[in-house]
Amino acid sequence: MRPKKIPILLKSFLRLPEAPTIFIWGPPGIGKSDIIKQVAAEEGINFIDMRLATRDPSDIKGIPVPRDERTKWFPPEELPKDGRGILFLDELNLAPPLVQASAYQLILNKRVEQYRLPAGWMIITAGNRSDHAAHVYRMAAPLRNRFVHIDFEINVDDWREWAMKNDLAPEVIEFISFRPDLLFKFDPKRDEYAFPTPRSWHFVSRIMKSSLYPSEKDIAEEAIRGAVGAGAAAELRAYIMLKNELPYIDDILEGRSEVVPARPDIACAVVTALSVRAEPRHFNTLLKYSNRLPAEAAVLLAKLLIAKNPEALRQAPLFPAWSRKYANQILT
């Protein structure tokens, strides 16, 4: 499922009286927890994130305490007591078997020992498939049947919209448009410390927006290699040098230039740069410019402007004719 569709699913489940438990499958670093946290914030409810791979069974079951010749279980302070919210149990199938057993009691019965999950809380779980991580524990078939399973799709268009809304460094957004294959590149057979993921590109953005860049460029580039790996860092560096050959973005925004790159990958990079820099007053000029672009790049430009400010784009004089021309592509 595309990242932009997962919040719609989660919000609909939050409104069910007894929502089934969702298990989100996906490789590391793609933003599973960020999306769930975002949904909780947008709904105005609480959010608790428990990484089970680093927990003990007592973090879920609590601690047994003798009282009046009986055993009373004191539940963990971290578990919710009231209100509404999402309890996110991440890395479920990476957790040791005893931790999993405690988590499954809570997931399946909404209770564990003497603790009961408040009625306003929904449990969401997540984990990695065996081909994405080492040391995962396979779930038995009866247990797998207790979840609604969702595969988290890595989608460049959705990531680009998210990156623009969250003010990532323009160079990073433009580069991923230029090399979408490097948004995520993970080979579990290679024991690499750093590799490209949506999360690690966010780290790169922070490095590029820090005081290191460009004043201490050599230190910044070494830090970037430590975030996404040497190969992806070298490609980013080469792209930044290539940017000098791109059309001057401000000239296009102000209508002084209509130069269109011949290479499709560079055209996508230019379109992304334009959308990052554009203000509503530029939208009509960009729609005019898009008529000179290949259809794929023109539709990408419109989608990015819609994500940035849909109302301003609809008010552009050229938008009605443009939307009729590309209606089918915009909706896909």
308-321 pLDDT, tens digit per residue, is 888 999 999 999 98
Three-state DSSP at 18 gives: coil
Domain boundaries, the chain: 6-151, 156-330
pLDDT by residue (tens digit) across 203-262?
Answer: 999 999 998 887 898 999 999 999 999 999 998 998 888 776 667 788 888 988 888 888
pLDDT of residue 17: 86
Residue 332 has pLDDT above 60, yes or no: no
Span 90-116, pLDDT tens digits: 999 888 888 988 898 899 889 998 899
Mean pLDDT, range 26-40, rounded to an integer: 91
pLDDT at 155 over 60: yes
Instruction: Please determine, looking at this structure, whether the domain spanning 6-151 carries the CATH number 3.60.20.10.
Output: no
Residue 329: predicted pLDDT? 66
Residues 6+ apart with CB under 8 A from 248: 257
Angle at Cα 181 formed by Cα 202 and Cα 201, nearest 5°? 10
Mean per-residue pLDDT of the chain: 88
Specify the pLDDT at position 326: 77
* pLDDT exceeds cutoff 60 at 187: yes
Rg, Å, the chain Cα set? 24
**Dist CA 144 CA 142 (whole Å):** 6
Pairing verdict, β 120-127 and 21-25: parallel
One-letter amino acid for residue 26 of the chain: G
User: Tell me, what's the pLDDT at 197?
Assistant: 95
- Could you write out the DSSP letters of every residue in 255-312? TS-----SSHHHHHHHHHHHHHH--GGGHHHHHHHHTTS-HHHHHHHHHHHHHH-HHH
Give the mean pLDDT of 127-152: 81
